[in-house]
């Protein structure tokens, strides 16, 4: 009888759960024009629980967000950007 000793089901299950929960999206955001805007958006969104990373592309009016969909919703992220005074298209 052979044992598959390296296949730890607990570890695999955890990895699978994390992979499923992590979402990546790119938002179109109007009104960002300088480094202050970048800091305002990245700072406020980055402070949300469940947001893994946020990156503003100023010249493209785009914001890349990686987040855990189990902890934060896309609507909450959009609302946070809106609260900073920018328009999510």
What is the contact surface with Cu ion in residues (CB under 5 A)? Answer: 33-34, 36-37
Name the nearest CA neighbour of 50 among 22, 80, 83.
Answer: 22
Which lies closer to Cu ion via its Cβ, residue 26 or residue 33? 33
Where b means 16+ CB within 10 Å and e means fewer, 63-76 reads bebebeeeebeeee
Which lies closer to Cu ion via its Cβ, residue 6 or residue 34? 34
Chain mean position to CA 53: 5
Minimum CB separation of residue 22 from Cu ion in Å reads 29
- Longest Cα–Cα distance of the chain, Å, equals 66
Minimum CB separation of residue 77 from Cu ion in Å reads 19
Which lies closer to Cu ion via its Cβ, residue 73 or residue 84? 84
Minimum CB separation of residue 58 from Cu ion in Å reads 9
């Amino acid at each position: 009888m052979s044992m598959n000793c390296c296949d730890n089901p607990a570890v695999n299950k955890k990895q699978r759960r994390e992979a499923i929960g992590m979402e990546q999206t790119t938002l179109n955001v109007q009104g960002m024009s300088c480094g202050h805007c970048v800091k305002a958006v990245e700072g406020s969104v980055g402070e949300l629980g469940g947001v893994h990373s946020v990156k503003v592309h100023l010249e493209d009016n785009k914001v890349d967000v990686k987040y855990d969909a189990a902890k934060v919703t896309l609507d909450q992220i959009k609302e946070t950007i809106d609260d900073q005074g920018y328009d999510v298209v």
